[in-house]
Amino acid sequence: MSRYEDFLKKASAEYIHHDRFLSVRDEVLAEMEKRRFFDAKGVFGEGGFGVLAEKSMHAVLKRFAEPDDNFHEVAMEGFFADICRDGKVTEIQTKRLGNLRKKLDVFLKSYEVTVIYPVICNKWRGYSEASDKRPSSFRLSSHHRNEYSAFDELYALKGKLAEPNLHIHLYLMDAEEIMVKQQKAKGRRRARSGYERFDLVPLGIRRIIELDSANDYMQFMPEADGQFTSADFAAEAGISRGTASIVLNVLLSAGVVERVGKKGNFYLYEAAY
């Protein structure tokens, strides 16, 4: 048994909602594969294990959040919502949360909006010579993420996090990253490795953190009462000082902490309530 296979065996017992998630994932990937092999006229076309336009992570999470495709890609207010059902909007954003700002400016005036953002805790990377060949092996990336990693992205929405109609759901997940040999193209910069990401395929959900109100952000606060600096916060949370500064900046915008003074070169913070 390979290291990757051993990881999957152990992780499957740790994932939540895993039976339903696997059912949804395999169904979506099969549909994507079929669309890749056949064009609109049913003619056999160029194949591969991946997707054409919508990537696997986005498509799987969309179906997982709303199984009925009739509520997907709904035209409203000059935009397309990933999901809209019963007057509630759900947006799946796998990267660059700041790209949602224009949509949110419009949607939040009239609708409750839930943004689902996946945080990849463990990423297994596989390399392939072509998009129609699945990598023969995978190795674990040294870059691991946790819930605090999401704050780099939440920073782009910090001015909206106090909005009562906005809900952020962080999906802590594991995934396969499929790297394919980069094709030569005029005017296109070649990746240093010679490979580029082709797809990110979800493996399972470890935890879902639902940030539905300002009070929910309190779970990121250190357990100690009283005043603290970003250095104190970093030590308590087990993160770098740079990350701690970003987290506290976001929590400040969300109204969860207040700046109450300075201690040397550091701001002093305390819980707002």
What's the average model confidence in pLDDT over 62-72? 97
Same domain, 78 and 102: yes
What is the per-residue pLDDT for 48?
41
Helix, strand, coil share (%) of the chain residues, nearest 5:
35, 30, 35
- The structure's pTM equals 0.89
What is the per-residue pLDDT for 208?
98
Give the tokens for residue 1. 């048994």
Q: How many domains is the chain built from? A: 2
What's the average model confidence in pLDDT over 213-226? 86
C-alpha 50: how far from chain center = 19
Same domain, 203 and 235: no
Same domain, 83 and 205: yes
Percent of the chain with pLDDT over 70: 88
Same domain, 194 and 240: no
The pLDDT-based confidence of 45 (bands split at 50, 70, 90) is very low
Same domain, 74 and 108: yes
Same domain, 80 and 181: yes
What's the average model confidence in pLDDT over 13-41? 85
**114-154, pLDDT tens digit by residue?**
999 999 999 999 998 877 678 888 999 999 999 999 999 99
Q: Where are the alpha helices (DSSP H) in the chain?
A: 3-11, 18-37, 56-65, 101-107, 151-154, 230-237, 241-253
Output the CA–CA distances (angstroms, integers) from residue 207 to 16, 17, 119, in the order listed.
Answer: 7, 10, 10
What is the per-residue pLDDT for 42?
46
Q: Where a domain ends, among 159, 192, 212?
A: 212
The pLDDT-based confidence of 50 (bands split at 50, 70, 90) is very low
Same domain, 27 and 149: yes
Q: Tell me which of 214 and 156 has the higher pLDDT.
A: 156
Task: For residue 45, give its domain range.
Answer: 3-212
CATH label of the domain that carries residue 235: 1.10.10.10
Q: Tell me which of 81 and 131 has the higher pLDDT.
A: 81
Same domain, 199 and 263: no
What's the average model confidence in pLDDT over 207-228? 90
Q: Where a domain ends, among 212, 242, 259?
A: 212
